[in-house]
Amino acid sequence: TYPPLPHSISSRCSVIRSPVDYGPLTKIYGALTQEEERDTVIISCDDDVIFPPNFIETLLGYHRRYPTIAITGTGALLGHGLRFISIISSIEPFPSWSSFTGFDVGPQGRAVDLVFGVAGVLYTRGMFGHLEELWQLALSDDDLFCNDDVIISGYLSREGIERRLFLGLPSVTHVNGPDALSADLWLMIERLERALKKAQRAGLFPTWEPLTAEETPYARGAIIAVVVLFLALAVWGYWSGWIV
């Protein structure tokens, strides 16, 4: 049970309560059910994340340039499967890891398969036309219930709506408590893998965005391993007298 909202919020916001718990997907329930104008901007965010003051302003700046796409700072490419996922995250401290875990992103951003709502995502109302299908997907399975990112991204993929990642969005800070869905990393990954397979069986994610093998952490790790092995052999050969 949530405590009553302070007056500073309730006096400025319309609070919509869903009669049904749709899991994390419920965060877009109010906007989708109350708004009808196709151009209405919807920005979702998690309640255990600290966002910088210029976050909304930056999101809207990208939206004005690209009004027909979903915009995020944290996304993934899945063309080679979840075990070869290539991901860029705007959640501290992960931005500094992007050179290893991520993919190439130009000044105009890059289309991704999966958007992660934890770091904030911008949509428009017109991107969602079959609301009842969204709610039923969340209730159809425990894994999908816990993975609103899979439902939303897969749905937009099927509808031909691009999800694009931009590096210019400011980083955010995740205050991850012990009861968060992502607190157990391995459980989260297993649940995500099952949810992706079930989403595809439901007709979501009909295609994956292009991803070269060189852009996966697996390939980069293999290259690093080969280089390290070569250097180790060279050092061993030098000290054993094979190399002079």
Q: What is the pLDDT of residues 123-142, one digit of tens each?
A: 999 999 999 999 999 999 99
- Among 113-127, 149-163, 175-189, 220-234, name the one with the lowest average pLDDT: 220-234
Place of tokens 């299908």: 133
Place of tokens 């255990």: 48
Q: How far is CA 106 from the centre of its chain?
A: 18
Q: Is the peptide bond before 93 cis (omega within 30 degrees of 0)?
A: yes
Confidence of residue 232 (pLDDT cuts 50, 70, 90): low
Compute the average pLDDT of residues 164-183: 84
Output the pLDDT for position 132.
Answer: 96
Alpha helices in the chain (DSSP H): 7-10, 29-34, 55-65, 98-101, 131-140, 142-145, 148-158, 185-201, 217-239
Confidence of residue 63 (pLDDT cuts 50, 70, 90): very high
Output the pLDDT for position 238.
Answer: 57
Tokens of 80: 């080679």
Compute the average pLDDT of residues 91-104: 86
Q: Hey, is 110 helix, strand or coil?
A: strand
